[in-house]
Structure formats: C-alpha cells, structure tokens
Amino acid sequence: MRQIDAQEITKAVKDAAIAANHDLGEDMLAAFKRGEAEEESPSGREVFRQLLENARIALQENVPLCQDCGLAVIFVELGQEVEITGGDFSQAIQEGVRQGYGEGFLRKSLCHPLTRANTGDNTPAVIHTEIVPGDRLKITVVPKGGGSENMSRVFMLKPAEGRAGIIDRVLTTVREAGPNPCPPIIVGVGIGGTFERAALLSKKALLRDVGTANPDPELSALETELLQGVNDLGIGPQGLGGRITALAVHVVMQPCHIASLPVAVNIQCHAARHKEVVL
C-alpha cells in the first residue's frame, strides 16, 4: 500500500482551486482563437477578442477569470492501493476548498437553500469518488458557475424517442437557455444509466479537452450533428448573434434499463475551468 498524507491532499486541492479560477486551459484558449477567426459576426469576433484578453489579464495579475468562482465540484479517482493517513479523506478535500477560496480571495457563493445564508467558505464541495486500480490519487477540481448550471436539464425520454428525441432535447435546452449561460458554451450530454447517473455523465463530459475527438464513431457523429444544430440557432457569443454559440458538444453514453432513456444536458459557460492533480 502507498500512503498519502491528508495534509498533502488539502494542499493539492487548495492550489488547484486557485489555479482553476485564474488559469484557463490551453484547449479553451485555442478554441477562442479559432472562434475569433471563424465567427462571421463583428460583435461575436469582438467577444472572442475580449475573452482572450480577459484570460491573459487573469493569469498575469493572478485574479479570477470570472466574478462567479463557482461551486467546487471535485472528481476523485482513488487508487485501491492507496492508504490515506493523518486525517479524514473527505474532510481533507473540504479543507483544501476552504483554504483555496479563502487564500485565493475567490468569491464564496454557497448558501443555505432556503434562508440564503452564506456558508462563508464555499464549502461543502460536491465530491464524486471512484475507486480505480493502482497506487495513485487523481483529483480534478471543477469550479461550476451558477448561470450555466441553472440552464442544465435532465430528461427521462421514452425509449421510442431514440436519437431524434435526444437531439431535440439538447437543442431545446440550448435554445431556451439563450444568452443566460454566457456563450460560447460547452455542452455536456449524458445518455443512459439512471436519472442521477445521466446527470453525472453529462458533467464528466465537460472535462474532455475541447477540440479532441470522441473515440466512439457513433458518438462522434452525434456530437458533430448536435454542434451544427446548436450553432444553427444563431444565439452567438454572449447572445449577440453569430455562428458560434457552442465551442463543442461532448457526449458520454452507457447502457440503461429497457424501459428508460435518461438524457442529461449540462451546460458550461466560456469559463470552462478545471485543474487536475495526480498524487
């Protein structure tokens, strides 16, 4: 067994939370540059120029990319040969979020659902843990903003609705969202499993680098058709009109019950932030 101290986990999460909010991924920067070159709308091209400048300033001056620093969603792949020592595993992650949002001067957005009283430290984070082979611990910190999350949907389709029904729900979700999720967006689609599994798949789909192909030919073709359909809506960057409403559509699928066809659409804004660390 390989031992990892809980304090090491806390520090890793703290650093990743700060970095995710300050440093946009190279895949997104490349997508912005493609968008600036391909967008036909003058206002849309200006939006892409401003997004690139915003990302440059955030990294250079060590400030958040967006005022909404998100709810911290943590994806964990825990090797089965790892032993956590010196503290509680989940609490080590929560402490890392607490420290990251405090020391990084990141906006703390979590509150009581009814009273709306702020928790004060952006905890509790949402943690998804998967046990995997090996002796490594991979932690991915995903700050998820409220505007894009509010536009996300889960549908329980009739099996007979099939592929056409999936496409219809994705396009309807994006159409109804309009400018609210701050396009250009990334659209994560989860198909199959159960009600809650489809939602989780749709969020995990957002972690794939923008610009990379789906290895499944069937899903790759579906992604191409969905992206074309989304961009034909004409919402455009920041809802100002144009060709590029979405930079990518990513689909993850798994088997489901014979009586069901769960579909989830998780929309991500242009600040598609996530940082990964492996211990």
Q: Please tell me the distance from the alpha carbon of residue 40 to that of residue 71, in angstroms, as a whole number.
A: 34
Q: How many CA atoms lie within 13 A of 66 on its CB side?
A: 21
Low-confidence ranges of the chain (pLDDT < 50): none
Whole-structure pTM value: 0.95
Question: In the chain, where does DSSP find H-type helix?
Answer: 6-22, 26-38, 42-61, 89-103, 146-150, 162-177, 195-205, 217-231
pLDDT of residue 9: 98
Q: Please tell me the distance from the alpha carbon of residue 217 to that of residue 270, in angstroms, as a whole number.
A: 26
pLDDT tens digits along 38-59: 999 999 999 999 999 999 999 9
Q: Please tell me the distance from the alpha carbon of residue 44 to that of residue 268, in angstroms, as a whole number.
A: 18
Residues 6+ apart with CB under 8 A from 60: none
- Going from the C-alpha of 156 to that of each of 153, 162, 168, 259, the distances in angstroms are 10, 11, 13, 10
User: How is the chain split into domains, by residue range?
Assistant: 2-20+65-144, 147-271
75 bridge partner residues: 128, 140
Residues 6+ apart with CB under 8 A from 35: 44, 48, 184, 237, 244, 247
Q: Please tell me the distance from the alpha carbon of residue 262 to that of residue 190, in angstroms, as a whole number.
A: 8
Q: Which of 141, 225, 231 is nearest to 183 (CA)?
A: 231
Q: Please tell me the distance from the alpha carbon of residue 78 to that of residue 134, in angstroms, as a whole number.
A: 8
Q: Please tell me the distance from the alpha carbon of residue 170 to that of residue 228, in angstroms, as a whole number.
A: 12
pLDDT of residue 116: 98
The answer to whether 272 and 186 are in contact (CB under 8 A) is yes
pLDDT of residue 17: 98
- Going from the C-alpha of 163 to that of each of 81, 95, 143, 232, the distances in angstroms are 41, 43, 31, 19
pLDDT of residue 268: 98
pLDDT of residue 111: 98
Question: In 144-242, where does DSSP find H-type helix?
Answer: 146-150, 162-177, 195-205, 217-231
pLDDT of residue 209: 96
pLDDT tens digits along 68-92: 999 999 999 999 999 999 999 999 9
